[in-house]
Amino acid sequence: MKRSIKLLASAGLIALASSSAFAAADDKLRAAAEQAQPAVIESLHDMVLIESGSSDVEGLKKMADYTEARLKALGAKTERRKTAKGAGADMVIGAFEGTGSKKLMLIAHMDTVYEHGILDTQPYKVDGNRIYGPGIADDKGGIAVILHSLKILNDVGWRDYAKLTVSFNPDEEVGSIGSGEIISELADQHDVVLSCEPTVAPPVAKNESLLLGASGTATGTIDVKGKASHAGAAPQLGRNALLELAHQLLQTQDVAKSIPGTQLNWTTAKAGTVRNQIPDHASAGADIRLTIPDGLQKLQAALDEKVKNRLIPDTEVSVTVTAGRPPFVADDRGRALARQGQAIYAELDRKLDIAEMTGGATDAGYAARSGKAVVVESFGLAGWGYHARDEYIDTNSIVPRLYLMTRLLMELGNAK
């Protein structure tokens, strides 16, 4: 079936094979995507040579200058937004105004996980269909997809949106501590957010994919107050906070197991200052992962219930969980959008998988937090080795990814 459509297409008869009004635009977009490939590679080269680790304020400023200039050249009104916390680098926000009705947003991040000087040991390098470089997949490839898709759409005169916003943040790899709230707020003003983190390249993955879920992070703290006393002369007058903490850690260690979609592990602890005193204070910290939106509330309630049971009378125990990056859980609208993406890939005779969940966190969680916008992740280039060594992108993904983004934006803008 696919083969016969391909033959028809190559014979210029695709209009007969498809009732879609986009059939003519398809060929145009595909040709434009093919033509854009060398320019995409040039942009990747430019960006990889700008080292931009999350704490590299100078490098991040260069990335902001570069991306802002590119957005301006495409006709965007641009803005630099100081991030509230973290290294203090700027976000770049570009705004386009169109003539349609939909509000669309594209996000990617400018920072990488690498220390300054990484290019000395892991330089930009082309090897067949792989291009290596720190941050080239995560997430400079995502920035390149956005910039070059918008260039293609600009060239065909597409303005079928009410507004189109681009957000590039400088702190994704450190939890988006300064930009996350801004991303949430911006996303809520849009109908759709396409997040452009990389997708895993074949053959590491079977096929390229779009992603519908990512775990969120949180921290847990437990505090125990006891009563100090001489450990040798009058231990019976003290209330040992360390022993009570040990009791609480043991009885709460499996608390998350009864709440599917949550995970809690106690990882740090502190108690006592000197050997000869019954400690009056002890505390511990937990790493928490969440894949359900209300996981934090459920964990808090379960912990509160557990800690009521005390080993040592007269001790006080308090436990708190604090939200970090919210989990990303796409809804049915997100799933429908991902299927739309699959149909677009099928036009190129390529298979696109839908990935349900990853352990890595993403800004899609901030964008989807309120549930207002439809959010789907992984519109960046295909690659591998990110957060590791020898990070690369697969150049075979450039054309399909540009085609997917441009074609999908046109469909979304046109949707009733």
Residue numbers annotated as active site: 111, 172
Question: Which of 138/394 has CB closer to Zn ion?
Answer: 138
Minimum CB separation of residue 329 from Zn ion in Å reads 18
Stretch that binds Zn ion, among 1-9, 135-143, 319-327, 402-410 (CB under 5 A): 135-143
Stretch that binds Zn ion, among 31-39, 139-147, 231-239, 259-267 (CB under 5 A): 139-147
Dist. CA 336–CA 159, nearest whole Å: 24
The interaxial angle of helices 23-48 and 141-155, nearest 10 deg, is: 140
Quote the tokens at residue 123: 């330089």
Helix, strand, coil percent values for the chain (each to nearest 5): 40, 25, 35
Check: CB of residue 71 under 8 Å from CB of residue 104: no
Stretch that binds Zn ion, among 41-49, 82-90, 130-138, 342-350 (CB under 5 A): 130-138
Question: Which of 161/386 has CB closer to Zn ion?
Answer: 386
The answer to whether residue 347 forms part of the interface with Zn ion (CB under 5 A) is no
Phi, psi of 348, rounded to the nearest 5 degrees: -95, 10
Question: Which of 161/168 has CB closer to Zn ion?
Answer: 168
The helix or strand, by DSSP H or E, that contains position 355, with its residue range, turns out to be strand 352-355
Minimum CB separation of residue 362 from Zn ion in Å reads 7
The answer to whether residue 377 forms part of the interface with Zn ion (CB under 5 A) is no
Dist. CA 188–CA 330, nearest whole Å: 15
The answer to whether residue 139 forms part of the interface with Zn ion (CB under 5 A) is yes
Size of the site for Zn ion (CB under 5 A): 3
Binding residues for Zn ion restricted to 217-236, rule: CB under 5 A: none
Minimum CB separation of residue 172 from Zn ion in Å reads 5
Dist. CA 310–CA 240, nearest whole Å: 12
**Residues 144-183: x/- map of binding to Zn ion (CB under 5 A)?**
----------------------------------------
Which among 53, 393, 400 has a CA at the least distance from the CA of 197? 393
Q: Out of 138, 191, 208, 363, point to the residue binding Zn ion (CB under 5 A).
A: 138
Dist. CA 147–CA 151, nearest whole Å: 6
Minimum CB separation of residue 202 from Zn ion in Å reads 20
Dist. CA 280–CA 308, nearest whole Å: 19
Stretch that binds Zn ion, among 11-19, 65-73, 134-142, 248-256 (CB under 5 A): 134-142
Binding residues for Zn ion restricted to 184-213, rule: CB under 5 A: 197
Question: Which of 23/177 has CB closer to Zn ion?
Answer: 177
Q: Where do the H-state alpha helices sit in 74-208? A: 118-121, 141-155, 180-187
272: left (phi over 0), alpha (psi -120 to 50) or beta: left
What is the contact surface with Zn ion in residues (CB under 5 A)? 138-139, 197
